[in-house]
Structure 1
Amino acid sequence: MTKRRTILVWAVAGLALLVLGFGFYGGFRWQQLKRDLGIVTLDVSGVRLTLDHFAVRQMVLVRQPSADERLAVTLDNLRLDFADGWRLLPLRSLSIDRLDARWQPAASKNDDNQPLPLPDPEQLNDWSAWLPRQGQIASLDLTVPCTSGTCRAQGQLGWQLGEEELLPATLDLQLDHQPHRLALALHAYEQDSDTHLDLGLQLDGQQRLSMQNQLTAQTDSTLWRGTLAMNELPEAPWLLAWLKEWLAYTPPALPTLPEQMRIGAGWALQLDTQTLAEDWQALNGELRLSANLPAPWPVVGLGQLQGQLDLSLLADDGLWIPTELAGDVTLQPAADLFAALPAQLRPSAVSLKIIPTEADEATQALPLSVQLSASGPSPVTLDTRLVLATAVPYAATFDQTRLTLRSPTMTEADFSLQGLEADLRLSGRVSQQGATIRFDKNSRLRVDSLSAASGLTASKLMLQLAGIGVEAGFAEGELQRLAITGKPAVTASEVKQPALRPQGWRWSGTLNADLSKATLDGPLGNDAGLSLPLKLNHTWTNSATRLDLTLPELFLRAGNPLAATFADWPPLLELNNGRLQGQAQLNLPGSGPLAASAKLSAKGLGGIYDRTELSGLDVEISAALRRDQLRLDVTELTLREANPGFTFGPLRFAGEYAGPLDNLDQGRLAWSIAEVRLLGGRLWLEPGMADLGSGTQQLKAHLRGLQLPLLLEAYPAEGLSGTGVIDGELQLQRSEAGISIEQGSLQAREPGGALQFRSPKIQALGQANPAMRLITEALDDFHYDLLASDVHYAADGTLDLGLKLHGRNPALEGGRPINFSINLEEDIPALLTSLQLSDRVSESIQRRVQERLR
């Protein structure tokens, strides 16, 4: 006995340790499972388990798998009854006195475009096996997220299933919105080989919506037939106010009295259950809808709809083709329906009237008269005759179409429009494969005024669109081909821009556009007579634009349209002879600085600059703009003759300039040729460079072969003549004050020459003044062997000459040598003014000088 007792003791101890071990292990696994499932609280009280049922007085479950996701469920008095005969399934019934669930989901990371997978019939049967055959939740309290934040629903839920199968089944859901009640009843059953689903909606005990569905399984699809009916909804005010908490819309202000309304629909559609989840639009069949809405009713995604609509549709692989259509409806759009449009173009209300017209019995087509109008800041009207093909190939043809738009003001970041009016006359055809649209006669856009951020303004802008055609090709619902062609015309009564003189402009030409680029080609002209052939290319992929302009050969004898076009044209420059031609190219990339280049050729230009006559100017200039740096290349500039009061020329120059566009006076000027023929001689600069941004610049000029007779002829001194050839060296200095000569020297070539000063005034001075008699007699016929002078010229125009003259008069005192030292000071601007008041220059220059003196 002692041994047996010992074995028994050890057995009991071992069993206790085993139970204790299983308890510890079970507790550990339970804690680990709670952490894996995110369960932070699980309280169960009043548990009772018998052979035929399971009961819990209260259960509290709180699950929080992440920081922003939480589910809290409270159950009171749950009872689950089992099947008879020691079988667990099927569960006989479930009753809950109160279910309180509060759910806060995590931030969704799923793609909204992912299709929702649908369970197959086998899955439904597997799930239904675990559903109690009947159930009742006496008090249901749900708190879930909605568009307004968090919404709460209270009510009751009950269901009844078949004894062995899922069907027949009924579901009753009641939601309380004190003092109102919404009841939803669903009844599903099988009859022969069809499955029926009947749905009913009651509001405050009154049947308001009924829907019958019949599903018939076929070989590779399911036939879905059904009807829907709603005749009135006097409960609309409180129902819409309640739905406002759940849906993102503002309910309309409906009358307090019940309003009659009618919505009826019937359909017979073939569903491909294998692909329905991926492509739910791939339907075939027929749908008919009839609605009479005397008051505005909300439609999800559209807004508030009012009016009458009768519609029959044919579905062909997801393509819905109207076979009957008539309606007169008004839409108050939802706030985000037209959010993509500028604020000034968003309508406040849209009305649509569709009237069937007589059809040709020989063709399968639906002719309609469509009238659409939109009210708001920019009223829009559309009136068209539309013909819909109701058989393959499906298409819509429209003609006699007129679209009008009036917008008083339209303001965007880069431009502003005032008084926009559009009047478009259209015709065309649209199908699944493509579309063809044509702008008919009198199609135009008109703008009273346009202002752009660049300082450009245009008034009475008109765009003529007649003849423009649009062709598009589609493949699998996407645009694959686009072609826009035509000959538009643009006119503006006045264009203002800082670089242009205000006047009218016009352009007409050809338009070609496709998915990769757009091209405009035609002449641009203005009221001044300027005509510039223009070609514009814009690439859509990189938003790059290229503009090519051509200046055809312009004969200035007939006038100078350039001076009448550009505001920066030098006001003192008049060109009235010769011809000009050129080309320019502007490249504006999608990102980065613009680039430009130009070439200008001039032949035989003549005219006036300031108070100088110009003639025979030939020049070739190339210009390039890169990264705000301007470069000018003068291949050769030749001026045959200039006359500021005396004639000189020709003048030749070849060189280049480079400098910043915003500060042109800080650039660099370089030359290889800079010379002028002056009074029979040649004055030139050695090849060099001048930095215009520096304070001063030293330049050295050379003078060779100046003919003294020509100089004295140009100088307005009465009775002074002579012979000789003058050479010299001049040290020029450029500064902010202007051009000056700090050091200069002139000297006559050997063997010298002669001077005669035979003025009656000088002779009278010699007779009156004995000291001057010797000078006047010597200069009467002075033969010099030395004529030299220092030269100083100030930036204010004062010329100082220190003359040294050595020679003799053969008729005076036996021709003894005579030396003269003479200091001369001359105001060159005043001297030129006196010359320009004479008949040495044109009457135009004389008038300019006289006006300036006044």
Structure 2
Amino acid sequence: MDRDKRIGRRRWARIFACGLAGLLVLAGGLGLCAWLWRVDLARWSLARVLEDQGFGPVALTVDGVDFGRIDVSDLSLRGGAVAASHLAVDFELSALLDGRIGAVTLAGLILDLADGPSGLEAGGRPLLAPDGGGGASGGGLGIEIGAFALDQARITYRSGADVWTVGASTTLSLAGSHVAADTLTASVEGPVGKAALTAGAVSLDLPAEGGVALQLAAAAVDLPDLPWALSGATIGVKLTDGGLQTTVTGAVLRNLQQPPLLIPVSLSGQAGLAGDIVEFTVQAATLTAGPARLDIAGRYDTAKAALDASIALPPVRFAKDGLQPVDFSPRLGALPGKLWGGVGLSGKVTWQGGKLASDLALALDDLGFAGEAATVSKLKATLRITRPWPLVTAAGQRLTATVSSAGESADIEFTGQILAKPALKTENIAIQAAGGTLRAGGFTTSLDRPAIDTVVEVSHLDLAEVTRILGIDGLTGTGFLDGRVPIRVAGDKVTLTDGALKAQGPGTLSYRPGNLPPQIAAAGREMELTLQALSDFRYDSLAIEFAKAAEGEGYVLLKMAGGNPVLLPGQPFNFNIRLESNFARLADLVLLGLRSAQDFLGRAAGRQNE
């Protein structure tokens, strides 16, 4: 019995050993077959996984497979809408069973995206919604990738007639629906131009509700077609079925021209694309001790290429020993003198059909500056700008100011407009000076080479002030004058022709010169009588005629009739006396308002139109 049991145990041992050996041989054979056929198995498995994720039809070539790496070339998904020249996957078998991949390298990626009825599409179907099965339903791929290297990717995004192209290289990590990267370099080209982008950190998520959420930190943007650059920005981009949303915070905008058009400014904003409409808001603030803030809000119609935006610049206060325009724009460093007072801007800007227009209000509050022709103070105006570049204003713009020059001062009121040439069209200038009013207008002058040819209408001018301004030795008087003064200015040359002022009624005139004019000195025995009569002359009529050539001295011709109450009472006298004068101070008075308004508006238009 024992012997039979021992024989039975040996028989089962032989059977088990033979079975085990057979299994090992079968396993080895299967392993050998799997190793021999590993490329075909890998091709089939990878294609099956990608098709289950909704990326079919799939075409690829497996170049190599071992226990820790797969190399794939000529990858094509969605019929070529997603493609890559090379794909390498590094893994460990134990981690792979848990859905974890060590590293993926993707070179030559081509991704063709478009807006569709169901949102973002690739190959005519939703980008991430599978055709059935798979683990990608709204929550990403369900795979964790330790490192994802993207080399020379090219992404095309089509929205209506607009086409955007992005080229990028980066190294990413992917866990389920979350993608992160330390660095990113990219180029972007679209309907509005080109841009080069770098970012210190990148985060991309595929939310369960669908779409794509991208965030860039420490981002910098260069615009090759424009002299502007953006740095230090945090940029968020979200693609959903409803469109595109973008936010920018913490950015610094710099002008690359020399000298810069604008100092660096901090920038933040939001933009949203829905259909053909982009709605946006932008907040900018200068990086100065006394910052200026600019708010812009508007919309852009991509189908019509039409822009409509509102602008608000709260008043900026300048001071002689404080904030100056050069603190905002180094290009204004050549402006003479200091500026003081307040400047604000508000209104709308539109762009349509290739034409820029605006309805902006430039508010000047008690502004002052030392100009080339005069010192201007208490300047007040609200100028309506109908085109910001080149600067053009509406007709009938009014400004008031107090100006002083060559020891004289006057209050002026200017009405006119800036034309696009650039030129200044003067409708009316009223100068309150010397107790009366001087008016001129109806002329247009270039702002880059000023020229004036007009007639100044004079009313109720105080003779005492006129004689003081003329500065003729020993001449004083009382009364009020009216008249006309034709004046021509070309550069620094002033011409007065056939100017005449007449007294409104009787008055007094006293002439006691230290040096006798030639016509009085030549009067011989009548000289003493003439000087006595002029020392206290009571005129019944008085006319002052004068002229001055562009070069050289001018003259004044006094024509008066009357008498002296002490010398030969009741004896009428008629005098025609020609007196030499350089007219410098009279010309300054006449030109005070004309050239001051021209100087201020010329600065504004000339600087803007450079």
Question: What is the identity, as a one-letter code, of the residue corresponding to 1:521?
Answer: V
Cα deviation code 1:118-140 (max 9, x no counterpart): xxxxxxxxxxxxxxxxxxxxxxx
Q: Report the Cα offset of residue 491 of structure 1.
A: 0.7
The secondary structure found in structure 2 opposite 1:711 is: helix
Relative distance call for 1:381 and 1:743 in structure 2 (3 A) is same
Gaps of 5+ in 1: 1-227, 233-260, 313-321, 341-362, 388-395, 474-479, 835-854
| Separation in 2, partners of 1:560, 1:584 | 24
Relative distance call for 1:588 and 1:676 in structure 2 (3 A) is same
Q: 2:435 aligns with which of 669, 680, 686?
A: 680
| Separation in 1, partners of 2:188, 2:151 | 16
Q: 1:556 aligns with which of 311, 318, 334?
A: 318
| Separation in 1, partners of 2:214, 2:88 | 33
Q: 1:533 aligns with which of 275, 292, 295?
A: 295
| Separation in 2, partners of 1:311, 1:544 | 57
Matched, 1:755 2:509: yes
| Separation in 2, partners of 1:670, 1:364 | 68
User: Which position in structure 2 is the counterpart of 1:612?
Assistant: 374
Q: 2:220 aligns with which of 434, 437, 446?
A: 446
Q: Report the Cα offset of residue 507 of structure 1.
A: 1.6
Question: What is the identity, as a one-letter code, of the residue corresponding to 1:756?
Answer: S
Percent identity reads 19
Aligned runs of 1:642-661 on 2, under 5 Å? 642-656=403-417, 659=419, 661=420
| Separation in 2, partners of 1:619, 1:606 | 12
| Separation in 1, partners of 2:303, 2:492 | 52
Cα deviation code 1:207-239 (max 9, x no counterpart): xxxxxxxxxxxxxxxxxxxxx96738xxxxxxx
User: Which position in structure 1 is the counterpart of 2:183?
Assistant: 404
User: Which position in structure 2 is the counterpart of 1:326?
Assistant: 101
The secondary structure found in structure 1 opposite 2:464 is: helix
Question: What is the identity, as a one-letter code, of the residue corresponding to 1:728?
Answer: G
Cα deviation code 1:724-769 (max 9, x no counterpart): 2111123455779976443332112222x22224466669xx9999
Relative distance call for 1:582 and 1:824 in structure 2 (3 A) is farther
Relative distance call for 1:495 and 1:529 in structure 2 (3 A) is farther
Do the aligned partners of 2:148 and 2:172 also contact (CA within 8 Å) in 1? Answer: yes
Matched, 1:808 2:570: no
Do the aligned partners of 2:311 and 2:348 also contact (CA within 8 Å) in 1? Answer: yes
Q: 2:175 aligns with which of 369, 373, 386?
A: 386
Relative distance call for 1:602 and 1:264 in structure 2 (3 A) is same
Do the aligned partners of 2:170 and 2:185 also contact (CA within 8 Å) in 1? Answer: no
Q: Report the Cα offset of residue 646 of structure 1.
A: 4.3
User: Which position in structure 2 is the counterpart of 1:488?
Assistant: 249
Q: Report the Cα offset of residue 804 of structure 1.
A: 1.8
Q: Report the Cα offset of residue 552 of structure 1.
A: 1.1
The secondary structure found in structure 1 opposite 2:410 is: coil
Do the aligned partners of 2:348 and 2:360 also contact (CA within 8 Å) in 1? Answer: yes
| Separation in 2, partners of 1:736, 1:709 | 30
Aligned runs of 1:128-143 on 2, under 5 Å? none
User: Which position in structure 1 is the counterpart of 2:280?
Assistant: 519
Number of aligned residue pairs: 497
Aligned runs of 1:451-600 on 2, under 5 Å? 452-453=224-225, 456-458=227-229, 461-465=230-234, 468=236, 470-473=237-240, 480-484=241-245, 486-492=247-253, 495-496=256-257, 501=261, 503-515=263-275, 516-527=277-288, 529-557=291-319, 559=322, 561-562=324-325, 564-566=327-329, 574=337, 576-589=339-352, 591-600=353-362
| Separation in 2, partners of 1:280, 1:438 | 22
Matched, 1:702 2:457: yes
Q: Which structure features the higher share of helix residues?
A: 2
Question: What is the identity, as a one-letter code, of the residue corresponding to 1:507?
Answer: L
Relative distance call for 1:710 and 1:438 in structure 2 (3 A) is same
Q: Report the Cα offset of residue 679 of structure 1.
A: 0.8
| Separation in 2, partners of 1:544, 1:571 | 37
The secondary structure found in structure 1 opposite 2:264 is: strand
Matched, 1:423 2:203: no
Relative distance call for 1:800 and 1:548 in structure 2 (3 A) is farther
Q: Report the Cα offset of residue 642 of structure 1.
A: 2.1
Larger-gyration structure (1/2): 1
Q: Report the Cα offset of residue 404 of structure 1.
A: 0.8
Relative distance call for 1:728 and 1:583 in structure 2 (3 A) is same
Relative distance call for 1:681 and 1:629 in structure 2 (3 A) is closer
Question: What is the identity, as a one-letter code, of the residue corresponding to 2:362?
Answer: L
The secondary structure found in structure 2 opposite 1:542 is: coil
Do the aligned partners of 1:546 and 1:586 also contact (CA within 8 Å) in 2? Answer: yes
User: Which position in structure 1 is the counterpart of 2:148?
Assistant: 372
Question: What is the identity, as a one-letter code, of the residue corresponding to 1:444?
Answer: A
Q: Report the Cα offset of residue 704 of structure 1.
A: 1.6
Question: What is the identity, as a one-letter code, of the residue corresponding to 1:588?
Answer: W
The secondary structure found in structure 1 opposite 2:354 is: coil
Q: 1:621 aligns with which of 383, 395, 408?
A: 383
Q: 1:786 aligns with which of 529, 541, 549?
A: 541
Q: Which has the higher contact order (CA 8 A, sep 6+)?
A: 2
Aligned runs of 1:220-369 on 2, under 5 Å? 231=36, 262-265=39-42, 281=56, 291-292=65-66, 298-299=73-74, 301=76, 302-304=84-86, 324=99, 326=101, 328=103, 330=105, 333=108, 337=110, 368-369=144-145
Question: What is the identity, as a one-letter code, of the residue corresponding to 2:343?
Answer: L
| Separation in 1, partners of 2:443, 2:537 | 43
| Separation in 2, partners of 1:326, 1:696 | 79
Q: Report the Cα offset of residue 434 of structure 1.
A: 0.5
Relative distance call for 1:268 and 1:750 in structure 2 (3 A) is closer
Do the aligned partners of 1:323 and 1:366 also contact (CA within 8 Å) in 2? Answer: no
The secondary structure found in structure 2 opposite 1:496 is: coil
Question: What is the identity, as a one-letter code, of the residue corresponding to 1:583?
Answer: S
Question: What is the identity, as a one-letter code, of the residue corresponding to 2:394?
Answer: L
The secondary structure found in structure 1 opposite 2:406 is: coil
Q: Report the Cα offset of residue 703 of structure 1.
A: 1.5
Cα deviation code 1:396-431 (max 9, x no counterpart): 3x26x2241247x9999997878x531124253344
Do the aligned partners of 1:597 and 1:624 also contact (CA within 8 Å) in 2? Answer: yes
The secondary structure found in structure 1 opposite 2:395 is: strand
The secondary structure found in structure 2 opposite 1:712 is: helix
Cα deviation code 1:50-109 (max 9, x no counterpart): xxxxxxxxxxxxxxxxxxxxxxxxxxxxxxxxxxxxxxxxxxxxxxxxxxxxxxxxxxxx
Q: Report the Cα offset of residue 680 of structure 1.
A: 1.0
